[in-house]
């Protein structure tokens, strides 16, 4: 069974349990509306030999990344992270310097964004490292951006180059630990200030972070917004090949939509604010199909993002 079919089944199973007011499964974070402000909750796990290979990753980088991927989900809904919880399952031989260095990496990103560590759990493991993080964020309720917010005619944008993380992973796996993009893979920067800024713009419709690659992630926006899309392949910002750019994932940039009449001012003001451009990569269409375009013509190519089996 695929990951997404499993999650759909879990969601249906819990339809029978009374809701306490959470907007739950289906977006980058769960939302608890408290009036003017909402709380955001998200969790992501890193598992040795699935998400990382221990001998190829420094413990500092792993600590940094475990938190970064969670903060990215808070940013994806326009929130500011305020706290995290960390659960670690470690083989006995890693309890000393490895664990201390892991915590230094986790702490460095926590400090950078003012994210308090408020709890967690620590257990021993027979062989592999498992890391689970919960991140909690705050957001003005009227600013929350959901995957369901895209409208027909909207422009689709990303806020950075794609595929460099995937290229960095390839370098690591082929033994080039100093490849130019290795750092992009190991130290993704959560787009917190950028997400908060974009969330303050009424012209932005849907938003999410890019964890599995645009080829997979855009489908979440289409499903939740009940729309289709055309993606312009020549407009994908990347320094690597298109397949890696669209399918490798782990870029942790933001994927979002904007009303067409306000997209130029959005792009100009974003560039003024962040000294970095936004990139238009396509448009939202009627129907439910995802079409890969090369200018006016439909491309022969098809792309799939990264999928986890479970
Ligand atoms: P992301 O890539 O943004 O972390 P995922 O694709 O992992 O999001 O998850 C999609 C949605 O499914 C999220 O709302 C997440 O909280 C939920 N989800 C994933 N796994 C489970 C699970 N085992 N039980 C309940 N909800 C889950
Ligand atoms: Mg996400």
Give, using CA atoms, the residue closest to atom 10 of ligand 1: 26
Give 295's DSSP letter: T
pTM of the entire predicted model: 0.96
- Starting at the edge strand that comes first in sequence, how are the strands of the sheet with 290-294 ordered? 204-209, 254-258, 155-158, 279-285, 228-232, 290-294, 297-298
The whole-chain average pLDDT of the chain stands at 96
Atom of ligand 1 nearest to the CA of 29: 14
Pairwise CA distance, residues 177 & 175, whole Å: 6
Distance, CA 297 to ligand 2 centroid (Å)?
Answer: 31
pLDDT in tens, 43-86: 999 999 999 999 999 999 999 999 999 999 999 999 999 999 99
| pLDDT band (50, 70, 90) for residue 3 | confident
Give 307's DSSP letter: -
| pLDDT (0 to 100) of residue 307 | 67
- Starting at the edge strand that comes first in sequence, how are the strands of the sheet with 37-47 ordered? 22-23, 30-33, 37-47, 130-140, 80-91, 116-125
Give, using CA atoms, the residue closest to atom 16 of ligand 1: 25
Give 252's DSSP letter: -
What mean pLDDT is predicted for residues 113-128?
Answer: 97
- Is 42 in contact with 134 (CB distance < 8 Å)? yes
Q: Quick one: which of 153, 179, 146 has its CA closest to 165?
A: 179
| CA distances from residue 225 to 66, 117, 150 in whole angstroms, order as listed | 29, 34, 6
Using alpha carbons only, what angle is made at residue 186 by residues 73 and 119, rounded to the nearest 5 degrees?
50
Neighbours of ion ligand 2 (CB under 5 A): 28, 73, 209, 211
| pLDDT (0 to 100) of residue 56 | 94
**With pLDDT > 90 as the criterion, what percentage of the chain qualifies?**
94
Distance, CA 47 to ligand 2 centroid (Å)?
Answer: 17
Give, using CA atoms, the residue closest to atom 20 of ligand 1: 7
Distance, CA 260 to ligand 1 centroid (Å)?
Answer: 30
| pLDDT (0 to 100) of residue 265 | 98
pLDDT in tens, 262-303: 999 999 999 999 999 999 999 999 999 999 999 999 998 888
Q: Strand, helix or coil at 76?
A: helix
pLDDT in tens, 77-91: 999 999 999 999 999
What mean pLDDT is predicted for residues 191-206?
Answer: 98
The reply to whether ligand 1 has any atom less than 6 angstroms from the CB of 91 is no
- What is the distance, to the nearest Å, from the Cα of residue 230 to the centroid of all Cα atoms in its chain? 21
Question: Is 52 exposed, middle or buried (CB count within 10 Å of its CB: 0-12, 13-18, 19+)?
Answer: buried
The reply to whether ligand 1 has any atom less than 6 angstroms from the CB of 26 is yes
């Amino acid at each position: 069974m695929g990951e997404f079919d499993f999650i759909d089944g879990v969601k249906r199973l819990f339809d029978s349990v009374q809701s306490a007011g959470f907007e739950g499964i289906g977006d980058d974070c769960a939302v608890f509306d408290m009036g003017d402000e909402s709380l955001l909750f998200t969790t992501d796990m890193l598992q040795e030999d699935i998400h990382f290979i221990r001998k190829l990753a420094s413990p500092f980088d792993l600590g940094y990344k475990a938190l970064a991927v969670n903060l990215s989900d808070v940013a994806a809904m326009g929130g500011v992270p305020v706290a995290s919880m960390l659960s670690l399952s470690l083989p006995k031989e890693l309890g000393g310097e490895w664990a201390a260095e892991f915590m230094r990496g986790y702490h460095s990103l926590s400090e950078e964004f003012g994210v308090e560590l408020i709890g967690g759990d620590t257990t021993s493991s027979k062989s592999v490292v498992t890391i689970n993080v919960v991140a909690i964020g705050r957001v003005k309720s009227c600013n929350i951006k959901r995957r369901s917010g895209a409208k027909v005619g909207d422009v689709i944008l990303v806020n950075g180059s794609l595929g460099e993380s995937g290229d960095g992973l390839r370098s690591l796996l082929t033994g080039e630990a100093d490849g130019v993009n290795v750092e992009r893979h190991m130290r993704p920067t959560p787009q917190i200030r950028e997400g908060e800024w974009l969330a303050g713009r009424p012209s932005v419709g849907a938003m999410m972070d890019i964890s599995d690659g645009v080829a997979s992630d855009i489908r979440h926006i289409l499903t939740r917004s009940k729309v289709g899309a055309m993606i312009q392949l020549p407009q994908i910002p990347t320094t690597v090949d298109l397949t890696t750019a669209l399918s490798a994932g782990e870029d942790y940039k933001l994927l979002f939509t904007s009303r067409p009449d306000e997209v130029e001012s959005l792009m100009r003001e974003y560039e003024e604010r962040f000294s970095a451009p936004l990139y238009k990569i396509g448009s939202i269409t009627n129907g439910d199909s995802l079409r890969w375009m090369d200018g006016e013509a439909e491309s022969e190519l098809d792309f799939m993002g990264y999928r986890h089996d479970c």
